[in-house]
């Protein structure tokens, strides 16, 4: 075993079989009495081999998992695959193979890479979301949601890819309005789809973010809050001439109610159709044209805020609830059908969009707020300037509100509306319900049956006891997107006969969004082979929630929001006793090349497999950990894997050179080196818990350097302090470089595995300094550094400072105003004049 030089290949081959035989990271079901930590990395999607992004995220997750083991915790650190989804299906279409084949062969490749990379996973808990044993519980979850009214079907406008002929999720539509896959301009199409009622949970999803403050990245919390988009204001009811029902609109500015001069309805809202129905033919035609035209509009055109306002008059008038005036009702696509009530009251004087519209169509503009400029000067009339007065001010032209400030008027206005029964206080969220159905093959079948014949139009859930509804084989199915799910064509699969009535029912042909799969997988890891339930609530009580989640910020909104939602639903159902799934979260940065994102087309790919092969797992992991703060992007041009390998070799040689025996009494060792070791033992836990992995590596380098110096200097290889340091280095290094650390541990005469070694407590007596170095400042500049006994009092320090000749020189003939003593750091002398 005693090699003379460090060779990562030899070491990897030596230890991998040992670990695989011992399975040190398998969590046993028996209680141990130790505290628990659930450390989770976002599970990978199996598209090809692992890449550098995986290497980074799993490196950080593994540092934390290994760290908590050294601290005496039982650590659950599982791995699985998010293995349903479009890429498998696209590959299947392109190459004519089964999506299963593509998926599971990629998983095997990733498993093999992980094996060498050696994260400390519990490999007995592996799950794949595309296994029937997993998605069976997706279906269970769906049915539970359905029972509670949280899963429902509705007609609505969805994103439609006119090339691939499929519905797209919002996240599959790029910012420029094109499909991320086909590149085609996405259009809107009205379809019946399944939704999860996440909007019911909007307030809780927002409020509970406060609990995560300081534990999740502020950026993610901000993005979540933004996405939920709570707005407070009022609902105002408008009567429409010749229309029975009052029309509610939402506004955040009830203070400007007296300035409302027209109404606007979203052209694609049902309300617009209803209102125009009774109008004359010319109006109906104009509206139909307008609707068709705005439907054709691509997202990019529609989202361009600078574009000219367009719209058509609906031939109707509403009655202003306060003034009683007739105000015209228009349809315009700057109003969104699915926000608020799909209709607004327009206050052109105080809203830029309304003003633009009013100016375009020559509608009245009434100013109701006296808004002043920064200097208190009068601002130009919006009708002339074209600039709406959106700031704060004093109400005018508003009987009952005149003279009030904006905030006062908001409250007063709501009160008035409520008294008159023409409105009320209201809250609206930007968050929409979650569209979960997909017209695709490679996903979880939706466990619903649709009636035929006399049951036409009826739906019934699949009996829980018959789950899973397994996906039929893909052979014989045309997986190409056609606009309807390929499963509908699997006639034999889709047709179900009711054993009692003999009636024919058809399976819902859609599959679930893969975000459903990933919204609860962390629960399945708790009891992954349980065939009686989705997860064991007792295990959830023991391990949950996830203590540490690690993954990319690209999931800051959707995956995390959906997971938080499902967790709250499971809480409401009584399966778990917590409402937030992930207590702490770390988002790793990206791995870049020369400041740019790596991509095949740019040809600047740093391949994980290549790096692993040429430098080994340890050097790669140390490089990623050392490159900088984990949240920051890493530019591969700035790092040196060779440098990391050099450090590992240096550390390894320290252990090799130790000549004392295991178990030697450390207290007789060199005091200087021992101090360094114990300072390190005391400092590193804080650093790891603060995610300062780069600093920990730097400290380890420093410790290796001082130990090397001690060995080569007067201390020598046999000094117990050298062994103590080498053992500490091996133990701490095991978080970053498990192979090298294990080899060091073995050279130091210990049994495998160092991963289960416990963190030695730092000896407090070695941490106290008996001398302190106190800087003396005069007028903010350091003039002397005093060496004082640690027991020195403030008065001693002040006296010593004033006695210093260089301090006296600095003071000169100036008068001393104040002397501030902050031991053990500094004495600060403030002078006058």
Residues 655 to 694 in contact with RNA, rule: CB under 7 A: 690, 692, 694
259 binds RNA (CB under 7 A): no
Please give the backbone phi and psi of residue 741, each rounded to the nearest 5 degrees, phi first. -65, -40
Q: What six digits make up the tokens of 474? A: 């893909």
**What's the rounded Cα separation, in Å, for the pair 154 and 164?**
23
DSSP state of 627: S
Residue among 182 and 640 whose Cβ is closer to RNA: 640
Q: How far is the CB of 335 from RNA (least distance, A)?
A: 4
**What's the rounded Cα separation, in Å, for the pair 730 and 755?**
10
Q: What is the spatial order of strands in the sheet that 771-778 belongs to? A: 781-789, 771-778, 826-832, 815-822
Q: What six digits make up the tokens of 556? A: 């800051």
**What's the rounded Cα separation, in Å, for the pair 603 and 623?**
22
Of positions 14, 100, 650, 675, contacts RNA by CB under 7 A:
650
Decide if 236 contacts 422 (C-beta within 8 A): yes
Cis peptide before 545 (omega within 30 of 0): yes
DSSP state of 405: B
Residue among 73 and 357 whose Cβ is closer to RNA: 357
Residue among 250 and 441 whose Cβ is closer to RNA: 250
Site for RNA (CB under 7 A): how many residues?
80
**What's the rounded Cα separation, in Å, for the pair 369 and 255?**
9
Stretch of 32-40, 656-664, 697-705, 808-816 lying at the interface with RNA (CB under 7 A): 697-705
Of positions 283, 504, 640, 808, contacts RNA by CB under 7 A:
640
Residue among 7 and 408 whose Cβ is closer to RNA: 7
Stretch of 49-57, 128-136, 419-427, 817-825 lying at the interface with RNA (CB under 7 A): 817-825
Q: What six digits make up the tokens of 738? A: 């498990």
Residues 139-178 that bind RNA (CB under 7 A): 175
Of positions 14, 708, 750, 814, contacts RNA by CB under 7 A:
708
DSSP state of 714: T
725 binds RNA (CB under 7 A): no
Q: What six digits make up the tokens of 538? A: 């007792």
Question: Binding marks (x or -) toward RNA, 612..631, rule CB under 7 A?
Answer: --------------xxxx--
Q: How far is the CB of 18 from RNA (least distance, A)?
A: 27
Of positions 24, 87, 162, 229, contacts RNA by CB under 7 A:
229
Among 279, 394, 268, which residue's Cα sits nearest to residue 339?
A: 268
**What's the rounded Cα separation, in Å, for the pair 368 and 260?**
9
Residues 328-387 that bind RNA (CB under 7 A): 333-336, 339-344, 351, 353, 356
Q: What is the spatial order of strands in the sheet that 591-593 belongs to? A: 596-597, 591-593, 634-635
Whose structure tokens read 């420093």? 702
Question: Binding marks (x or -) toward RNA, 78..117, rule CB under 7 A?
Answer: ----------------------------------------
Residue among 305 and 475 whose Cβ is closer to RNA: 305
Residue among 57 and 332 whose Cβ is closer to RNA: 332
825 binds RNA (CB under 7 A): yes
298 binds RNA (CB under 7 A): no
635 binds RNA (CB under 7 A): yes
Question: Binding marks (x or -) toward RNA, 189..228, rule CB under 7 A?
Answer: -----------------------------xx--xx--xx-
Q: What six digits make up the tokens of 376? A: 């208190």
Please give the backbone phi and psi of residue 568, each rounded to the nearest 5 degrees, phi first. -70, -35
Q: What are the start-end ranges of the H helices in 256-315?
A: 270-277, 281-296, 299-303
Residues 526-555 that bind RNA (CB under 7 A): none
Of positions 538, 671, 698, 816, contacts RNA by CB under 7 A:
698
Classify residue 483 as left (phi > 0), alpha (psi -120 to 50) or beta. left
Of positions 69, 253, 568, 674, contacts RNA by CB under 7 A:
253
Q: How far is the CB of 351 from RNA (least distance, A)?
A: 6
266 binds RNA (CB under 7 A): yes
């Amino acid at each position: 075993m005693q090699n003379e030089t460090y060779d990562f290949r030899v070491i990897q081959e030596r230890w991998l079989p040992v670990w695989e035989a011992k399975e040190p990271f398998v969590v046993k079901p028996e209680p141990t009495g130790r505290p628990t930590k659930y450390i989770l990395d976002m599970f990978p999607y199996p598209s090809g081999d692992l890449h550098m992004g995986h290497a980074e995220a799993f490196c950080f997750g593994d540092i934390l998992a290994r760290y908590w083991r050294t601290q005496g915790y039982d650590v659950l650190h599982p791995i699985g695959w998010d293995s349903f989804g479009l890429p498998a299906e696209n590959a299947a279409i392109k190459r004519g193979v089964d999506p299963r084949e593509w998926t599971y062969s990629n998983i095997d490749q990733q498993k093999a890479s992980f094996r060498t990379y050696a994260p400390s996973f519990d490999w007995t808990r592996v799950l794949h979301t595309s296994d029937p044993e997993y998605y069976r519980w997706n279906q269970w979850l769906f049915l539970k949601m359905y029972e509670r009214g949280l899963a429902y079907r509705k007609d609505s406008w969805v994103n439609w890819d006119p090339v691939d002929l499929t519905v797209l999720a919002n996240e599959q539509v790029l910012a420029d309005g094109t499909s991320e896959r086909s590149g085609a301009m996405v259009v809107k199409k009205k379809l019946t789809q399944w939704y999860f009622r996440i909007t019911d949970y909007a307030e809780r999803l927002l409020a509970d973010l406060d609990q995560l403050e300081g534990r999740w990245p502020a950026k993610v919390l901000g993005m979540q809050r933004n996405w939920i988009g709570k707005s407070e204001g009022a609902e105002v009811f408008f009567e429409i001439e010749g229309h029975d029902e009052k029309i509610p609109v939402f506004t955040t500015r009830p203070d400007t109610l007296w300035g409302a001069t027209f109404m606007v309805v979203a052209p694609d809202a049902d309300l617009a159709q209803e209102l125009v129905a009774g109008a004359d033919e010319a109006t109906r035609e104009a509206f139909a044209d307008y609707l068709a035209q705005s439907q054709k509009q691509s997202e990019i055109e529609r989202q361009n805020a600078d574009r000219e306002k367009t719209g058509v008059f609906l031939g109707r008038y509403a009655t202003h609830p306060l003034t009683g005036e007739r105000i015209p009702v228009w349809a315009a696509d700057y109003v969104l059908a699915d926000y608020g009530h799909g209709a607004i009251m327009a206050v052109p004087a105080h809203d830029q969009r309304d003003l633009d519209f009013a100016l375009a169509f020559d509608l009245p503009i009434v100013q109701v707020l006296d808004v002043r400029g920064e200097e208190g000067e009068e601002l130009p009339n919006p009708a002339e300037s074209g600039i709406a007065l959106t700031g704060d001010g004093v109400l005018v032209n508003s009987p009952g509100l005149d003279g009030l400030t904006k905030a006062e008027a908001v409250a007063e206005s709501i009160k008035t509306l409520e008294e008159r029964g023409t409105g009320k206080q209201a809250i609206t969220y930007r968050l929409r319900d979650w569209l979960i159905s997909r017209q695709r093959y490679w996903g979880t079948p939706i466990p619903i049956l649709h009636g035929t014949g006399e049951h036409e139009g009826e739906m019934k859930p699949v009996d829980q006891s018959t789950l899973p509804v397994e996906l039929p084989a893909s052979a014989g199915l045309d997986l190409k997107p056609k606009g309807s799910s390929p499963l509908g064509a699997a006639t034999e699969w889709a047709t179900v006969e009711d054993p009692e009535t003999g009636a024919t029912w058809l399976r819902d042909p859609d599959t679930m969004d893969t975000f459903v799969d990933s919204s609860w997988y962390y629960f399945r890891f708790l009891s992954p082979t349980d065939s009686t339930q989705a997860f064991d609530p007792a295990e959830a009580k023991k391990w949950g929630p996830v203590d540490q989640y690690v993954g990319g910020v690209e999931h800051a909104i959707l995956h995390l929001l959906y997971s938080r939602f499902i967790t709250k639903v499971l809480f409401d159902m009584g399966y778990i006793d917590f409402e937030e799934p992930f207590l702490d979260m770390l988002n790793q940065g990206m791995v870049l090349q020369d400041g740019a994102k790596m991509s095949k087309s740019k040809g600047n790919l740093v391949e994980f497999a290549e790096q692993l092969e040429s430098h080994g797992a340890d050097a790669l992991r140390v490089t990623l950990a050392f490159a900088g703060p984990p949240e920051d992007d890493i530019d591969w041009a700035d790092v040196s894997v060779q440098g990391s390998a050099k450090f590992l070799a240096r550390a390894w040689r320290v252990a090799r050179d130790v000549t004392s025996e295991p178990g030697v009494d450390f207290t007789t060792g060199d005091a200087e080196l021992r101090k360094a070791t114990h300072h390190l033992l005391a400092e590193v836990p804080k650093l790891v818990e603060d995610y300062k992995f780069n600093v920990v590596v730097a400290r380890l380098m420093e410790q290796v350097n001082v130990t090397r110096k001690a060995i080569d200097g007067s201390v020598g290889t046999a000094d117990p302090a050298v062994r103590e340091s080498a053992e500490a280095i091996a133990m701490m290094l095991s978080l970053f470089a498990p192979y090298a650390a294990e080899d060091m541990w073995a050279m130091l005469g210990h049994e495998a595995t160092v991963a289960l070694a416990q963190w030695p407590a730092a000896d407090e007596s070695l941490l106290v300094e008996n001398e302190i170095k106190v800087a003396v400042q005069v007028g903010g500049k350091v003039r002397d550094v005093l060496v004082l006994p640690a027991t020195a009092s403030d008065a001693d320090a002040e006296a010593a400072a004033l006695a210093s000749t260089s301090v006296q020189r600095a003071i000169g003939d100036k008068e001393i105003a104040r002397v501030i003593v902050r031991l053990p750091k500094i004495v600060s002398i403030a002078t006058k004049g």
